Structure 1
Amino acid sequence: MARVERAPLRRALALLDLERGAVVRSVLAGVATLGSALALAALSAWLIMRAWEMPPVLDLTVAVTAVRALGISRGLFRYLERLSTHDTALRGTTAARANLYRRLADGDPAAALGIRRGDLLARTGADVDELGDVVVRAVIPIAVAAVMAVLAVGGIALISPVVALILAVALVLSGVVAPWMSARAAQVADDAGVRSRAAYSDAATTALDHAAELRVAGRLGDAVALAGRAQAQATRDRDRGATWSALAAAATPLAIGASVIGALLVGLGLYGTDLSPTGSGAMSPMALGILVLLPLSAFEATAVLPDAARTLGRARGSARRILALLDDADRPRSVGHEPWDGHGTLEARGLRSGWPAGSETAGTAEPRTTDPLDLDVAPGSRIVLTGPSGAGKTTVLMTLAGLLPPVAGTLTAGGRDVATIVPDDMRRAVAFFAEDAHLFDTSVLENLRVVRGDVTTHEAREVLRRVGLADWVDALPDGLDTTISGARAVSGGQRRRLLLARALLSRAPILLLDEPTEHLDAADGADVLRRLLARDAGLVGPERAVVVVTHQLPPGTDADRVIEVRPAVAAHSAE
């Protein structure tokens, strides 16, 4: 993955399709927010020092009104900045997910199928959210801080170039050095800290779980000592990270203090020790007040940068995971060009199925395959695949669906090699429904429309009745429009029936069903399997072919053929 290592975050942020205008508006709103604070500090300093001179009250009226206006505008601009920034980030994450799904759908199917479901959901969910956080917590705050630093230093330079130089150095300490130390602390915690804690956990678990055997062998003391050394190393690594965190936390207060004290000393040096309104120094009291108070507001923009650095660090890891997935999906592969309308027989001869060597699902460096099998999935046929867990039944279904290339043997559809068929035609003709297919955080109806966007409410109710969920849907507060996640999570059995309903709504002439009755009780599961395999039961039309994977085939089914899948290598595969 050489491409992943080069500027991974920059490549991943391109998925957000950020509009330049929206980003600029967010930055301008942030600059207006902190600019109001900066102007408020300068005006307040002038007002305090001017009031010290006890002028007529009317001379202060405009300044008092301006202070109130700046205080109000600061909150208003902050609100607008939040709206603009979060709108930009949310639109970006939506675009990123759409781009991600599109490239996964158009790319190599093994890229998504070759990793664990939880990991896939994390990469398309939490990792994409991390990219959105970069916009809110890093990109825009960094841009705002840079603009405000220039404005603050430029404003101070009009009064005293020396104080401006002191402020510039202090802002570099707060806006560059402190974020770097914060990122360093996070890196130490993520790298050495995680490894040392894992080593300690492993050593301690070994000593606890195998204490009896170790005592007999006279090795218990060594095991306990090893756990102690691992714990000490974990503590040292944690302290290293805490040291960097403490330095980062102290950098900004130190920078503020240094800039204020430096400004005060320079101002006193120019003004002299006579602070009376009639003093003869070169600097006016108002200018001295501004020199002292303005730096306090100038650091408001840089105070959030350590958190921005940590956000960038987390986002780089998310970017690498996302790009690794996309690069796998985009890897060169032969794409079929021959059309297929779904008519004809899906034929396998000497077919051996398996995952590529070294893939996450394979789990080993050597590819693991199934024994050769021959089968004909003709229109209307009913075929059952059985076998022990880990035999490779799911892998066979994926190969039949064209999602995995055959390890050996031939696979043809309508007389054509599956590898030469247009992928979209293959997906329309052969539909694979995994046992762990995802239910989305949306309504029952929209979860059914995943397979076909034009599903009507009548069709949805009818298919739910056929799979035994009519009473359940009727009991939901909003019926088909009820959201089925969160507080209304479905049970394992309900989930299986929903996934089966989704499969039945597909128009594909060949259905490949992976464990459609798992988590159903024995009687209900047997009834569903019998109806799936019966041509006249009304569950699946007699013209459609069905291939079912199951561990428990009930007696009395109308299966045309029952095939036992055996692994060619005695190891567990991704079932």
Structure 2
Amino acid sequence: MSDPLVRALRLLELSPRRVLYAVAAGVATLGSALALAALSAWLITRAWQMPPVLDLTVAVVAVRALGISRGVFRYLERLATHDAALRGTVSARAAIYRRLSEGDPAASAGLRRGDLLARTGGDVDALGDVVVRALIPIAVAVVLALTAVGGLALISPAAALLLAVALAVSGVAAPVLSARAARMAEADGALASARFSETAVLALDHAAELRVAGRLAETVRRAGDWERREIRATDRAAVPSAFAAAATPLAIGASVLGALLIGIVAYGPDGGAPGEMTPMSLAILVLLPLAAFEATGALPAAAVALTRARIASGRIMALLDRAGDAPAAGGVPVTPPVHLRATALRSGWPGGIPTDALDLDLPPGSRVAVVGPSGAGKTTLLMTLAGLLAPVSGAVTVNSVPAAELDQAQLRAAVGFFAEDAHLFETSLLENLRVARGDVGEAEATATLESVGLGPWVAELPDGLHTVLAAGGRSLSGGQRRRLLLARALLSPARVLLLDEPTEHLDAAEGAALLHGLLDRDSELVAPDRTVVVVTHQLPSDTVADAVLRVEAINRLPVR
């Protein structure tokens, strides 16, 4: 298998033209600095000789031009570099989301939300940093180092050799030490960081439930423990990092001092004579190395970025490899209508207490309500029916075909799980509905929103369906959020709708009306050939559901 970093970098879909443009701008930036140092050294020493002022005019203008061009090229280099990196991270995230959606959902469902957030957030950012902090700086440093050594060799081969050794210390030894420090920090701190994120998200998302269960203080304490472990890992990596930071200044001092001594010896008693070391050459010999190290000074940070990206890419590719391990299609296409069956099914999170075994027969058009106390396993039952969690035991079949033999595209076209905490994006209302089906038109979206009771609210929005939810789901009330998620579910192509608490945060009358619409076969809210399974704590007493399933066993999510 190829290097995970190389595989992950392909996700960035970097444009060679953009990368070359960024490298060229970087070379021009530091090339201007290198030429400015050499020309300034020549100008200062030549002016000391008090020649006719016209002899210095071209050099003076060139110094001004190089000073200006350095800033201009630096701006262009940053613009090009960040453009390439940001486009790459967008492409990488889109590819990851696409692979996760097309692959095995259990690959991500088995991860805590904090860990999944770290892999799709911070890890992708680390991958993008490779462009800004590693690939382009390394290419620029190589070109500039060769140019500086070659230019100095024209004056003094010995000084050029010394500069080459010093640049190797700054550009190779220092990055190696930095990479070692980064590996120590990441290897020891990555697990702690991920566990801290998981525990913190758990505490933030479920503070009320944890407080009721008497586990909130323990969860907060565990988050603090993981944070302290991460800090200790960073401290342990400080020693090699300090040596890496000292390597470049030491190399610069040795190079400049060595070049000065070599220049003094070469200057000799006959300095300035034809064929000998001139004052201008001596000044260039001393000042040129100072500018040459500007390119290698960024390489320790580049090594750190590469190390972090390598570790991050391993986590990203592990996630995608899990998502890509979905079994091949069983050769039996899933087409409407869909008949879903569960036989001796026990569901639960890994490490948790599974539900009791149950048999469930859902022919097309079934209407079933699932009730039970909080934590009994109602949501995990729906996730297992949808293929998001593997059954603890038993089997799920779709039109007599084992769900495990269907590819994920087939399974999602048949069965859709719609979580109560599904994400709402910071984009337009219409685009949030198109998450379920990309071809949803405005008329269909408006009709669906009206059917779930959001018609008056949409009519009051400044831009209607095109109003941007400025803060995503946080810009809506609890009831509006649930209605919008329900509309998304109704617009999905799934023939079996597994709905988790769709009427939570609604008042009793409105919630009962929606549940009647979802569970009544004669209702126009859901097509009669679509199956609906609803988890609810607010089941009306006069329910018209075909069956009411009560889940009694307690299923606890393991605390890790």
TM-score with structure 1 setting the length = 0.83
Say whether the 8 Å CA contact 2:163–2:289 is kept in structure 1. yes
Aligned counterpart for 2:114 among listed residues 88, 100, 118: 118
Q: Is the 8 A contact 1:401 1:430 kept in 2?
A: yes
User: Cα 1:195–1:511, aligned 2, differ >3 Å: closer, same or farther?
Assistant: closer
1:334, CA displacement in angstroms? 4.4
**Within-5 A mapping of 1:363-512:** 363=351, 368-421=353-406, 423-486=408-471, 489-512=475-498
Residue 315 of structure 1 corresponds to 309
Secondary structure at 2:294's aligned position in 1?
coil
From 278, 283, 291, the equivalent of 2:277 is 283
> Aligned-pair distance for 1:496?
1.9
Amino acid at match of 1:378: P
Identify the match of residue 362 of structure 1 among 342, 350, 353.
Answer: 350
Matched, 1:343 2:337: yes
In structure 2, the CA distance between the partners of 1:481 and 1:233, relative to structure 1 (3 Å rule), is closer
How far is 1:420 from its partner?
A: 4.5
Alpha-carbon displacement from aligned partner over 1:357-378 (angstroms, at most 9, x marks no partner) = xxxx5146xxx53322222222
Task: After TM superposition, give the deviation of residue 465 of structure 1 in Å.
Answer: 2.5
Q: Is the 8 A contact 2:328 2:407 kept in 1?
A: no
Q: 1:387 deviation in Å? A: 2.3
Could you tell me how far apart the structure 1 residues matched to 2:405 and 2:192 are? Answer: 50
SS in 2 for 1:528: helix
Deviates more, 1:287-296 or 1:93-102: 93-102
- For residues 129 and 383 of structure 2, the distance between their equivalents in structure 1, rounded to whole angstroms, comes to 36
Instruction: Determine if the alignment matches structure 1 residue 133 to structure 2 residue 129.
Output: yes
Cα separation, 2, equivalents of 1:243 and 1:426: 53
SS at match of 2:345: strand
Q: Which residue of 1 aligns with 2:549?
A: 563
Equivalent residue, structure 1, for 2:43: 47
What SS does the corresponding residue of 2:296 show, helix, strand or coil? coil
Q: Once the two structures are superposed, what CA deviation does each residue of 1:206-265 show, in whole Å capped at 9, x if it has no partner?
A: xxxxxxxxxxxxxxxxxxxxxxxx999999876654433333333222222221121111
Once the two structures are superposed, the pairs formed by residues 200-239 of structure 1 within 5 Å of their partners are none
Per-residue deviation, 1:322: 0.8
Q: Which moved more, 1:131-140 or 1:107-116?
A: 107-116
Residues 420, 175 of structure 1: alpha-carbon distance in 2 compared, 3 angstrom cutoff: closer
Does the aligned pair in 2 maintain the 1:535–1:542 contact within 8 Å? yes
Partner amino acid, structure 2, of 1:401: A
Choose which of 87, 94, 99 in structure 2 pairs with 1:98: 94
SS of corresponding position for 1:426: helix
SS across alignment from 2:416? strand
Contact 1:271 1:281 in 2 (8 A): no
Matched, 1:68 2:64: yes
One of 502, 518, 525 as aligned partner of 1:532: 518
Q: Single out whichever of 151-160 and 162-171 deviates more from structure 2.
A: 162-171
Q: Deviation at 1:14?
A: 2.5
1:79 match: 75
Whether the 8 Å CA contact 1:513–1:547 is kept in 2: the answer is yes
Letter in 2 for 1:32: A
Greater shift in the superposed pair: 460-469 or 189-198: 189-198
1:7 aligns with 2:24: no
- 8 Å contact kept, 1:400–1:411: yes
Q: How far did 1:115 drift?
A: 1.2
Give CA deviations for 1:533-565 in whole Å, capped at 9, x if unaligned.
234454323342211112332322211110112
Q: 1:490 to 1:196 in 2, by over 3 A?
A: closer
1:352 aligns with 2:350: no
Q: How does 1:146-225 map to 2 (within 5 A)?
A: 146-190=142-186
Cα separation, 1, equivalents of 2:342 and 2:188: 50
Q: Deviations over 1:238-293 (max 9, x none)?
A: 66544333333332222222211211111111113677xx5689201111111111
Distance 2:400 2:169 in 1: 71
Which consecutive unaligned segments of at least 5 residues does structure 1 have?
Answer: 199-229, 355-360
Q: Return the TM-score normalized by structure 2.
A: 0.85
- 1:423 is displaced (CA, Å) by 4.1
Q: Which amino acid aligns with 1:47?
A: L
Question: Any conservation in 1 of the 2:327–2:407 contact (CA below 8 Å)?
Answer: no
CA contact (8 A) 1:271 1:280 kept: no
Preserved contact between residue 415 and residue 494 of structure 2 (Cα < 8 Å): yes
* 1:342–1:428 Cα contact (<8 Å) kept: no
Cα shift at 1:410: 4.3
Q: Deviation at 1:32? A: 1.6
In 1, Cα distance between equivalents of 2:19 and 2:444: 44
Q: Is the 8 A contact 2:327 2:406 kept in 1?
A: no
Corresponding residue SS for 1:9: helix
Alpha-carbon deviations, 1:138-174, whole Å to 9, x = none?
Answer: 1111111111111111111111111112211221222
Q: Note the residue ranges of structure 2 that are not aligned, 5 or more in a row.
A: 195-225
- Output the CA distance in 2 between the equivalents of 1:312 and 1:440: 31
Q: For residue 563 of structure 1, give the secondary structure of its aligned residue in structure 2.
A: strand
Counterpart among 14, 17, 30 of residue 18 in structure 1: 14
Q: Distance in 2 between matches of 1:327 and 1:518?
A: 36
Residue 38 of structure 1 deviates from its aligned partner by 0.8
1:66 Cα offset (Å): 1.7
- In structure 1, what is the Cα distance between the partners aligned to 2:155 and 2:516? 89
- In the TM superposition, residue 29 of structure 1 has moved relative to its aligned partner by 1.9
The whole-number CA distance in structure 2 between the counterparts of 1:348 and 1:231 is: 43
The Cα of 1:528 is off from its aligned counterpart by 2.7
Separation in 1, partners of 2:548, 2:415: 20
Q: Offset at 1:450?
A: 0.8
> 273, 283, 297: which one pairs with 1:303?
297
- Secondary structure of 1:301's aligned partner: helix
Quote the Cα distance in structure 2 between the aligned partners of 1:258 and 1:474. Answer: 73
For the 8 Å contact 2:183–2:308, the answer to whether it is kept is no
Contact 1:43 1:63 in 2 (8 A): yes
What's the CA shift for 1:193?
A: 7.1
Letter in 2 for 1:464: L
Alpha-carbon distance in structure 2 between the residues aligned to 1:381 and 1:150: 74
**CA deviation map 1:8-29 (0-9, x unaligned):** 3233222223233432332222
Q: CA deviation at 1:99?
A: 2.7
The one-letter code of the counterpart of 1:362 is P
Deviations 1:323-358 (A, max 9, x none): 22112122363432112322153233333334xxxx
Q: Which amino acid aligns with 1:373?
A: L
**How big is the shift at 1:94?**
2.6
SS in 2 for 1:376: strand
Contact 1:166 1:262 in 2 (8 A): yes
Instruction: Name the count of aligned residue pairs.
Output: 528
Worse-superposed segment, 94-103 or 516-525:
516-525
Quote the Cα distance in structure 2 between the aligned partners of 1:385 and 1:100.
33
User: Taking structure 1 as reference, are residues 297 and 371 closer, same or farther at Cα in structure 2, changes over 3 Å only?
Assistant: same
- Which residue, out of 267, 271, 288, partners 1:294? 288
- Partner Cα separation in structure 2 for residue 314 and residue 260 of structure 1: 33
1:550 and 2:536 are equivalent in the alignment: yes
Q: Which amino acid aligns with 1:480?
A: L
Q: Which amino acid aligns with 1:509?
A: R
Q: Secondary structure at the match of 1:375?
A: strand
